[in-house]
Chain A
Amino acid sequence: MATNLDQLSAADIAAGVHAGKFSATDVAVAALDAIKAREPKVQAFLEVVESLALDAAGKTDARRSHGEELGPLAGVPIAVKDNMHLIGTHTTCASHMLEGYKSVFTATCVQRLLDAGATPIGKTNMDEFAFGSSTETSYFHPTANPWDTARVPGGSSGGSAAAVAAGEVPLALGSDTGGSIRQPASFCGVVGLKPTYGAVSRYGVVAFGSSLDQVGPFGRSVADVALAMNALASPGRDPYDSTSQDCPVDFLEHLEDPIAGKKVGIVPELLEVEGLTPECRLAIDEARAALEKQGAEIVEVDLPNISSAVAAYYVIGPCEAFSNLARFDGVRYGYQEKGCATLAEQTSKSRAHGFGAEAKRRQMLGAYLLSSGVYDKYYYPAQQVRTLITRDYKHAYEKCDVILLPASPRTAFKFGEISDPTQMYASDMFTISNNIVGNGGISVPVGLGKDSNLPVSVQLQGPAFKDRVLLQFARAVERGCGRPGTVAPGFSGKGGDLS
């Protein structure tokens, strides 16, 4: 009887290809078939690269037939967020500004997955330039949440989360600037890790907020995410990213280690904040119980300045975004307004018509916040807040190994349900502080919400460069209450049988 690809983990696929149970080409064909069947409803991809996929898979198979060693991700189909370069694909950041832009080099993070044997399948939808929490700001089309196609998949890495949840690919890359991996992971019921800042290279990832952005994997199980991290981070720092650091860790080695006797921090006031829905609050209790059952000790910790995190974030993020997006002027590449009389007119019209509303809002905000006289009032205090919150976390981790908190205040919302930008910004209230301090965080599904019947997750946060420990606790939550490998029921088994 044929196995559907969506029933296999990334590790299963790699093992099958290694063992010769099926070929990398079989897997690629199955993934492309699943995409063909499922994509009309989910629209997770902006570009599917069939020939690139078959070519890469063919090379993996050739290696095997020549007796060469295969990588730990041999034949595993991967989807890549459309803000990461991959030669042979376009990189649009879901913006009119970069419509048709061809990647001129391959991002280090993508290259490392390819080096580990992965098969690139395509580029996934996102909020324009990663500005958003619902993937609705994409210039091209929305992406549906596989669990309820009337709802958003979250964002900004909504396409990657949806592709994994719909069973189109077992692994995908996202980027997280304020929660853009962890929030869509929770909306789509998959595992999403934002590693510690510096663990994964940003070279080749179109920058939003350079001091906040971090690339990380989505998977349907904690083990698959750990497998991806071994390829992304373990080879060492990237000489092309001067903010990257060595992270010589095997993320799988201690994954199944017991957590008995270890300490999990809870921040009580975070569980009382306005806007946190009861089912998301309940998820914390479930995860807590699961961890306690495995022998972990729950301790209360205090993060006194965390309420300022969102404000600091919406200063630092727009400032860096303004600066990073200044290069899009229509001169060398990207959207160029035709028929302009002067350079100034060309620049301003190219930017006015190339960027969407949210991208313009953030850049204007940044331009204002960095202007003289204003800078001292906002940017500088925001950096001070950053220092304070970093100190808060440091103190907290003296008392515990990881902190358990919600991933998102609520489950996936409907398209168009949130139109007020500040309300949209609030959906990152539990994730942003981790970007501010640069620590790792992971979103782990704990089941379906009792009110919404939609996926609910919890978040675990850890100290800098303790992402391995984070994965170990995430695995404990998964073991206790998750349903690893679950594909959204409406999509499971549709196309993608491995012949």
Chain B
Amino acid sequence: MKKLADVLKDWEAVIGLEVHTELTTLQTKMFCNCRLSHDDPPNTNVCPVCLGMPGALPVPNRKAIQSIVMAGLATNCEIQKHSMFYRKHYFYPDMSKNFQTTQGPVAFCMHGHLNLEVSGAGAAERPSWENLASDGKTPIRRRSADSSYVAPIRILRIHMEEDAAKMVHVGGEEGRITEATESLIDYNRCGTPLIELVTEPDLRTPEEARLFMEKLRQTFLTLGISDCSMESGSMRCDGNISLRRRGETRLGTKTELKNINSFKSLHDGLEYEILRQAEVLEEGGVVYQETRHWEPSRRHTVVMRVKETADDYRLFPDPDLAPFDLSDEFIEECRQRIPELPDAKRDRYVEKFGLKRDDASQIAGDPVWAEFFERAVQVGGEKAAAQLGKVLCNDLAGWLRAHSASLADEPVSPEQVAGLAALLACDQIPSSKAGEVLDLMAKSGKAAEVVVDEQGMRQVSDATALEPIVDEVLACCPDQVAQYKGGSKKVLGYLVGQCMKASKGKGNPKLFNQLLRARLH
């Protein structure tokens, strides 16, 4: 197969996403008062309504409506005051009533957009001459010369619906119902409030799709409407993708990509589909409209089912649920509940605290990180904020990854990290020791200063104390000195290393570097 960048020179990939998000932060289900928790023993959070017992009736969860309106406002959607629930019929035991309550042509939220900032290697995948968004009107803004850009991605709608039950098929290899000898159903999940966001087909590269999902996740996390876990399935995404020749305006036949449970899967699955479709088309073949399953372990997609005809869901307005007539007050109340969103937060961190834009984005994108950061700034002071941002994004992020830890559990406190940042800022410890300090702080709960002093980790930044060491090292390494003078500047690193060794790791490497240079000239 060809490389993605090469394929995208000849072919335009047209990608749209359907994103399902469970409103996991709510206490109760969409249409009944059952507790919203998937962790309890199977079929314990159930009642006549979510089990679809005869005679039971749905009553909409007001807080769920509030959540979707907030999601709509945060993604620049028009909030529809008048909308209805519809019934979507299909016979399958995961939906206890054999219809799903969802929305019809008019959803609570219509016609929004998110501005996507694309930079780095991913930005190069979108050809540089492409300067209009896919509505053909909106110019794509360029921020800098490194080919990074801002593209508006339109959102068609966000509608409210209920989730289905969880089914486990026992027996048979693939875990599919056809081979199963037994199927188990857990209705705890049935009736979970779910919002489905559908984008316009505005995405053009796997990187854009990945970034869109990331941005959406950040937005929903900040709103506090879901835990947005792709791993556990509280945020799920299907990708629709088709190819067309550059310059062609008609859409090609699309395939639908399923089983995407991480941002990486989304990116890699779409990349594979682009390459696969390009190969099929270039060989004169035909892309079939079908649903394909991404298999991350084998890094390819396989056909789940071919769609020959559109499914007939017999959609019609749910007569058990009166049409909605949202008041201005209700919508305004939702607007008031929206906290500072990631983009605004990022800009504030850059402008007010002087954070690097990337660091600011990373911290502002996750409400747990943002809160941690702001608490640490309160301790360490605004002047130390930029250094703090660096520590969070480099040292702390790396340390958490290495320990498979989550900042939400606060293995270290904002006060401890602020202390660490302060020590790093004035060269009291080498940056290479940051991980070790985090380890010790997490274990002992002690402040950074205390840990560093206990371990004797403070580095020496006093030139008079380091000069004798430099002299000693230069005396021991006549060959390297000769090489340096002969033009091999690389050898300086070796000499710094020798100084560090001689100082038992306590000397300031930057200072050693300066002193060596001065002595050798």
Contacts and interface: CB of A to CB of B under 8 A. Distances in A.
B299 interface: no
A204 B87 contact: no
B34 to A, nearest CB: 13
Interface string B40-66: 000000001001111111111000000
Interface size class of B (residues with CB under 8 A): 20 to 34
Interface string A66-88: 00000000000000000111000
B55 A204 contact: yes
A453 interface: no
Interface string A210-242: 110000000000000000000000000001111
Interface stretch (B266-274, B312-320, B400-408, B452-460): B312-320
Given A326-B91, A326-B99, A327-B96, A243 B55 contact: no
A203 B89 CA distance: 22
B514 interface: no
A104 B48 contact: yes
B483 to A, nearest CB: 78
A85 B314 contact: no
A320 to B, nearest CB: 6
Interface residues of A, number: 44
Which of A83, A209, A320 counts the most chain B CB atoms within 10 A?
A320
A204 B47 CA distance: 13
Contacts of A204: 55-56
Contact of B91 (A211, A242, A329): A329
Contact of A210 (B60, B89, B319): B319
Interface in A69-121: 83-85, 91, 93, 98, 101, 104-105, 107
Chain B residues touching A, majority SS: loop
A319 interface: yes
A323 B177 CA distance: 25
B55 A91 contact: yes
Given A91-B55, A207-B55, A326-B91, A319 B316 contact: yes
A143 to B, nearest CB: 22
Contacts of A331: 93, 185
B59 A242 contact: yes
B183 A320 contact: no
B314 A370 contact: yes
Interface in B88-103: 89, 91, 93, 96-99
A422 interface: no
Nearest to B87: A323
A19 interface: no
Contacts of A370: 89, 314-316
Q: Which of B59, B183, B315 has the most CB of A within 10 A?
A: B59
A390 B165 CA distance: 40
Contacts of A84: 55
A147 to B, nearest CB: 32
Task: Pick from A101, A322, A326 the residue with the most CB of B within 10 Å.
Answer: A326
A343 B91 CA distance: 10
Contacts of A347: 91
Contacts of A384: none
B87 to A, nearest CB: 5
A372 interface: yes
Given A326-B91, A347-B91, A372-B312, A105 B96 contact: no
A163 interface: no
Contacts of B322: 242-243
A379 interface: yes
B60 A242 contact: yes
A206 interface: yes
A343 B319 contact: no
A82 B482 CA distance: 104
A210 B56 CA distance: 11
Contacts of B99: 323, 326
Contacts of B59: 239-242
A84 B54 CA distance: 9
B98 A327 contact: yes
B97 A242 contact: no
A371 interface: yes
Interface in B161-181: 177
A371 B312 contact: yes
B310 interface: yes
A345 B57 CA distance: 28
B314 A371 contact: yes
A104 B53 contact: yes
B97 A326 contact: yes
A318 to B, nearest CB: 12
Contact of A375 (B52, B93, B316): B316
B91 A203 contact: no
Interface in A335-368: 343-344, 347, 367
A425 B55 CA distance: 25
Contacts of A319: 316
B58 A242 contact: yes
B60 A211 contact: no
A206 B97 CA distance: 13
A384 B99 CA distance: 25
Interface in B302-343: 310, 312, 314-316, 318-322
Contact of A205 (B55, B60, B98, B310): B55
7 contacts: A84-B55, A105-B55, A239-B59, A242-B58, A243-B57, A243-B319, A243-B320
Please give me the 3 A-B residue pairs with the lowest Cβ-Cβ distance, nearest first: A211-B319, A326-B98, A210-B319
Given A85-B54, A203-B55, 19 more contacts: A85-B55, A93-B54, A101-B54, A203-B57, A204-B56, A209-B319, A241-B57, A242-B58, A242-B59, A242-B320, A326-B98, A327-B52, A329-B93, A331-B185, A332-B53, A343-B177, A370-B315, A370-B316, A375-B314
